[in-house]
């Protein structure tokens, strides 16, 4: 991405370079749109499929891949629930249960929960921000390819009966070479390092996009809450992911190179170091996979309440505060490890304080519903159901923040119940609701309202029937991570209810997927803005063209589509209005507009990169490099590292700028 400073505009920061190319304002005709389409469209066939850097294509790939992993993780869960439905069942051996239990957690937490939200954000961010692409399109493509290869890599040993089997938390010394000699833990450790690369480059891209790629006039107090959620999660990832990547790489060094980071038998290592490094990442990760989902609700719920979100400012601040406080509560996962009393008091207090910003968002959603005129469409049902599940999951979390109570509940099914209310109730319901809401934007078609309602009630009833009894099982003393139990323990009924509820919930997911697949081809045409939503993505055709916006919109409000109608009725002066059809014109090659970080004022023309095979090749060679490390093929690892270097050189090789020779047909203001 190269930069061309533009002529200084009123309000630009001091030092803006004046050049002979001022920005043009106006409208564009069909010939101009066709030329933009040719500039931005990916090549047809497999070449375009491998080389495209279009954020919309990448976003849909994230969504589809994440949903596939959701199905895989769900099937693993159902097999476990069949095993636990009755006492002394023998469907699974202990070794098989350990592998299913571990891979289910890995899949749902790392391969579904964040990637599915990355799919929404990749697709929607440039559209809701009024831009043409992400800040670094090739880096965006790399993040998907690495995620895909990391997911395949993590499952590579599973079909051979050698899947990771030490739990998704992978505690040492259970995961050390002394107790687990197979390749499964090596694959898990290196796969998580590879996945961390995808997460980190994606997070950096989101941060840069927010700071540089907003529509003119979109100041920091006008960005959607969805953007606040993903931005906060991305910043959190940049600080949290290095911790777990380091921990997994140190574990692999312990297992295969003979290091002693976690070996307490003679190398001076510390087993507790693993828990610190892991939970320094894993607890902020909880907010990473819920804050963007909360952003979905904060932006889409008001559309069905026919009013703006109550308390936009407090909700945005609470989003940031949640992540900040989330970095100082990791030890509440370690209350039972012998932590000193002073640390217990500090981290227990922080774990309770973090409920305050969550409560701010909850009251904002309830107030929006109460003060609005709700329209009970399918997306609204999922968002309203999410609010209830959010409260239940939050209350059970506060309970475990009390140290004496946590000592009784830790490693019981009460914690499993809390975990699922947080990671499924607060993630899956907004995701499904968001799919129904933005499906018209993705495809130009509507999903079925009837099937959507059936899917909601099956999922809502099945979820609570399945996971609420887990609280009771935990209070009755049922420990986590057991593959069977005796019939005289008193857990028979609650486990049967949980298994029945799990299958009802899974059937609801199946109805949703059937509705989604059917509506891709048979759903009724949606029209330009079927929900009467206020944000910029609904100002372009559905599905959007490759260039997103033919003219880059100029916004003057937080809800440009709603307020544009009110501005016309009130006859506001032109300077106070949003200009969605008569914005800035850019068409000399693939160009985007860079704006200032806070005020959203245009100050630079960005030359966006062309499609390239380099991200795919770099992702593939990186995955093969980690595979060679897992197999200890050192020569192949060296060859793959050289191949990665060549891919980076190809990626960064200077290119001749594409300059459009003929002026675009425009009608200048």
Domain boundaries in the chain?
A: 25-46+530-596, 47-522, 614-654
What was the pLDDT predicted at 74? 95
What was the pLDDT predicted at 520? 94
CA distances from residue 637 to 388, 553, 628, 633, 643 in whole angstroms, order as listed:
50, 48, 5, 6, 10
What CATH code is assigned to 47-522? 1.20.210.10
CA distances from residue 567 to 278, 472, 537, 562 in whole angstroms, order as listed:
52, 55, 19, 9
Entry pTM: 0.93
In sequence order, the 6+-apart residues with CB closer than 8 A to the CB of 34 are: none
Report d(CA 501, CA 665) in Å as an integer: 60
* 180-203 per-position pLDDT tens digit: 888 899 999 999 999 999 999 999
Two structure tokens written together for 266: 């003679």
216-243 core/surface letters (b: 16 or more CB in 10 A; e: else): bbbbbebbbbbbbbbbbbbbbbeebbeb
Q: Which phi and psi (to 5°) does residue 490 adopt? A: 85, 15
* 48-104 per-position pLDDT tens digit: 999 999 999 999 999 999 999 999 999 999 999 999 999 999 899 999 999 999 999
- The residue among 555, 552, 599, 551 whose CA lies nearest residue 578 is 555
What count of other Cβ atoms lies within 10 Å of the Cβ of residue 337?
Answer: 12
**Residues in the chain with pLDDT values less than 50:** 8-20, 575, 658-669
What count of other Cβ atoms lies within 10 Å of the Cβ of residue 363?
Answer: 16
In sequence order, the 6+-apart residues with CB closer than 8 A to the CB of 472 are: 494
Report d(CA 72, CA 74) in Å as an integer: 5
Report d(CA 268, CA 142) in Å as an integer: 39
Q: Which phi and psi (to 5°) does residue 388 adopt? A: -65, -45
Two structure tokens written together for 657: 């700028």
Report d(CA 53, CA 50) in Å as an integer: 9
553: three-class secondary structure by DSSP = strand
- What is the dihedral sign for C-alpha 646, 648, 649, 654? positive
User: Quick one: 570 exposed, middle or buried, by C-beta within 10 A (0-12, 13-18, 19+)?
Assistant: exposed
């Amino acid at each position: 991405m190269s930069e061309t400073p533009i002529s200084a505009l009123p309000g630009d920061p001091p030092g803006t370079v004046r050049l002979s190319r001022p920005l043009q304002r106006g409208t564009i005709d069909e010939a101009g749109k066709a030329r933009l389409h040719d500039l931005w469209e990916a090549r047809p066939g497999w070449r375009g499929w491998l080389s495209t850097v279009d954020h919309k294509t990448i976003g849909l790939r994230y969504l589809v891949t994440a949903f596939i992993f959701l199905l895989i993780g769900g099937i693993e869960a159902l097999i476990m629930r069949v095993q636990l439905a009755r006492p002394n069942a023998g469907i699974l051996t202990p070794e098989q249960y350990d592998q299913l239990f571990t891979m289910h957690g890995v899949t749902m937490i790392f391969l579904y929960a964040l990637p599915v939200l990355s799919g929404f954000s990749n697709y929607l961010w440039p559209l809701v921000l009024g831009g043409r692409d992400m800040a670094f399109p090739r880096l965006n493509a790399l993040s998907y390819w690495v995620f895909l290869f990391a997911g395949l890599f993590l499952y590579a040993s599973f079909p051979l009966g050698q899947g990771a089997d030490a739990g998704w938390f992978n505690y040492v010394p259970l995961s050390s070479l002394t107790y687990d000699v197979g390749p499964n833990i090596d694959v898990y450790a290196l796969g998580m390092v590879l996945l961390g690369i995808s997460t980190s480059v994606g997070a950096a891209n989101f941060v840069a996009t927010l700071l540089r790629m907003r529509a003119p006039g979109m100041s920091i107090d006008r960005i959607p809450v969805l953007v606040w959620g993903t931005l906060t999660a991305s910043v959190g990832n940049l600080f949290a992911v290095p911790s777990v990547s380091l921990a997994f790489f140190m574990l692999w060094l312990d297992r295969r190179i003979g290091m002693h980071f976690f070996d307490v038998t003679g190398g001076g290592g510390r087993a507790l170091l693993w828990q610190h490094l892991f939970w320094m990442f894993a607890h902020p990760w909880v907010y990473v996979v819920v804050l963007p989902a909360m952003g979905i609700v904060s932006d889409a719920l008001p559309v069905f309440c026919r009013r703006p979100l109550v308390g936009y400012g407090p909700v945005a601040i609470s989003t940031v505060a949640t992540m900040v406080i989330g970095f100082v509560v990791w030890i509440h996962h370690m209350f039972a490890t012998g932590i000193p009393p002073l640390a217990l008091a500090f981290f227990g207090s922080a774990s309770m304080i973090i409920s305050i910003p969550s409560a701010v968002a909850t009251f904002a959603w309830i107030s929006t519903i109460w003060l609005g005129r709700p329209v009970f469409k399918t997306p609204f049902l999922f968002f309203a159901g999410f609010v209830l599940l959010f409260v239940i999951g939050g209350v059970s979390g506060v309970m475990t923040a009390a140290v004496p109570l946590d000592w009784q509940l830790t490693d019981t099914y009460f914690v499993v119940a809390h975990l699922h209310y947080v990671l499924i109730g607060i993630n899956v319901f907004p995701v499904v609701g968001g799919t129904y809401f933005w499906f018209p934007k993705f495809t130009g078609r509507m999903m079925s309202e009837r099937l959507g309602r059936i899917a909601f009630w099956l999922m809502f009833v099945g979820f609570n029937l399945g996971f609420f009894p887990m609280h009771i099982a935990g209070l009755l003393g049922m420990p986590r991570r057991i593959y069977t139990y005796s019939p005289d323990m008193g857990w028979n009924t609650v486990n049967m209810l949980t298994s029945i509820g799990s299958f009802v919930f899974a059937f609801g997911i199946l109805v949703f997927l059937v509705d989604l697949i059917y509506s891709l081809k048979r759903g009724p045409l949606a029209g330009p803005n079927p929900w009467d939503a206020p944000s910029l993505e609904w100002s372009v055709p559905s599905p959007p063209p490759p260039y997103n916006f033919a003219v880059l919109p100029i916004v003057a409000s937080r809800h440009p589509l709603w307020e544009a109608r009110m501005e016309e009725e009130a006859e506001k002066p032109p300077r106070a209005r949003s200009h969605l059809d008569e914005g800035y014109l850019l068409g000399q090659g693939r160009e985007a507009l860079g704006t200032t970080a806070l005020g959203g004022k245009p100050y630079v023309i960005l030359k966006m990169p062309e499609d390239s095979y380099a991200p795919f090749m770099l992702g593939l060679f990186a995955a093969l490099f980690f595979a060679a490390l897992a197999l200890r093929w050192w020569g192949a690892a060296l060859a793959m590292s050289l191949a990665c270097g060549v891919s980076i050189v190809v990626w960064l090789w200077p290119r001749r700028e594409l300059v459009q020779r003929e002026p675009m047909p425009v009608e200048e203001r």
